[in-house]
Amino acid sequence: MLRRTLPRALSSASSSLHGVPLDATSINANVRAAEYAVRGNVLERSMELQRRMAAGEMLPFKKFVPCNIGNPHALLQLPLSFHRDVLALCISPHLATDHPSAFNPDAVERAQKYATGMGGGVGSYTNSQGILAVREEIAAFIAERDGHPAYVDRIYLTNGASEGVRMLLTCLLRGGELRDGLLTPIPQYPLYSASLTLLGGTLVPYHLNESGDWGVQMENLTEALATARENGVEVRGIAVINPGNPTGNILAEDQIKDIIQMAVDNKLVILADEVYQSNIWKEGASFSSFKKVACDMGYHGEDGDERLQLVSFHSTSKGYFGECGLRGGYMELHGIGPEVRAEVYKLASLSLCSNTVGQLAMGMMVNPPKPGDASYQTFEKERGDILSSLRRRSMMVHKALNEMEGITCNKADGALYAFPRIRLPNKAVQAAADKGIPADEYYCLKVLDETGIILVPGSGFGQEEGTLHFRTTFLPSEDTMEETLKILASAHAKFMDDHRD
Ligand X SMILES: Cc1ncc(COP(=O)(O)O)c(C=O)c1O
Report the interface residues with ligand X, using CB under 6 A: 70, 160-162, 189, 191, 241, 245, 273, 275, 315, 317, 324, 329
3-state class (DSSP) for residue 318: coil
Nearest residue to 148 (alpha-carbon basis) of 47, 359, 369, 297: 297
Considering the complex, state which of residue 190 and residue 425 has its C-beta at the smaller distance from ligand X: 190
Q: CA dihedral defined by 383, 385, 390, 396, rounded to 10 degrees? A: 170
Residue 217 burial (C-beta neighbours within 10 Å; 0-12, 13-18, 19+): middle
Q: Are 411 and 282 in contact (CB under 8 A)?
A: yes
Nearest residue to 86 (alpha-carbon basis) of 105, 117, 108: 108
The total of other beta-carbon atoms located within 10 Å of residue 117's CB is: 19
First-residue to last-residue Cα distance in the chain: 77
Helix 41-54 / helix 439-451 crossing angle, nearest 10 deg: 20
List 417's β-bridge partners, or say none: 473
Nearest distance from C-beta of residue 485 to ligand X, angstroms: 22
Nearest distance from C-beta of residue 39 to ligand X, angstroms: 11
- Distance, C-alpha 301 to centroid of its chain: 26
Q: Are 137 and 114 in contact (CB under 8 A)?
A: no
Q: How far apart are CA 426 and CA 375, in angstroms?
A: 57
Considering the complex, state which of residue 95 and residue 171 has its C-beta at the smaller distance from ligand X: 171
Considering the complex, state which of residue 61 and residue 287 has its C-beta at the smaller distance from ligand X: 287
Nearest distance from C-beta of residue 38 to ligand X, angstroms: 7
Considering the complex, state which of residue 324 and residue 481 has its C-beta at the smaller distance from ligand X: 324
Cis amide linkage into residue 338, ω under 30° from 0: no
Considering the complex, state which of residue 180 and residue 273 has its C-beta at the smaller distance from ligand X: 273
Considering the complex, state which of residue 329 and residue 420 has its C-beta at the smaller distance from ligand X: 329
Nearest distance from C-beta of residue 314 to ligand X, angstroms: 8
Nearest distance from C-beta of residue 272 to ligand X, angstroms: 11
DSSP state letters, 178-205 = G-EEEEEEES--THHHHHHHHHT-EEEE
Nearest distance from C-beta of residue 372 to ligand X, angstroms: 31
Nearest distance from C-beta of residue 45 to ligand X, angstroms: 21
Per-position b or e across 370-387, b if 16+ CB within 10 A of its CB: eeebebbeebeebbeebb
The total of other beta-carbon atoms located within 10 Å of residue 302's CB is: 10
Nearest distance from C-beta of residue 69 to ligand X, angstroms: 7
| Vertex 123: Cα angle to 118 and 128 (nearest 5) | 55
Nearest distance from C-beta of residue 244 to ligand X, angstroms: 8
Nearest distance from C-beta of residue 119 to ligand X, angstroms: 26
Considering the complex, state which of residue 251 and residue 491 has its C-beta at the smaller distance from ligand X: 251
Nearest distance from C-beta of residue 215 to ligand X, angstroms: 17
Considering the complex, state which of residue 89 and residue 238 has its C-beta at the smaller distance from ligand X: 238
Nearest residue to the partner ligand X, using Cβ: 160
Residue 202 phi, psi (nearest 5):
-110, 130
Q: CA dihedral defined by 322, 326, 76, 375, rounded to 10 degrees? A: 70
Q: How far apart are CA 260 and CA 158, in angstroms?
A: 25
DSSP state letters, 25-81 = TTS-HHHHH---GGGSHHHHHHHHHHHHHHTT---S-S--EE-SS--GGGGTPPPPH
Considering the complex, state which of residue 414 and residue 425 has its C-beta at the smaller distance from ligand X: 414
Considering the complex, state which of residue 412 and residue 496 has its C-beta at the smaller distance from ligand X: 412
Nearest distance from C-beta of residue 49 to ligand X, angstroms: 24
Residues 6+ apart with CB under 8 A from 334: 154, 291, 294, 299, 301, 308, 309, 310, 311, 312
Considering the complex, state which of residue 308 and residue 362 has its C-beta at the smaller distance from ligand X: 362
Considering the complex, state which of residue 195 and residue 220 has its C-beta at the smaller distance from ligand X: 195
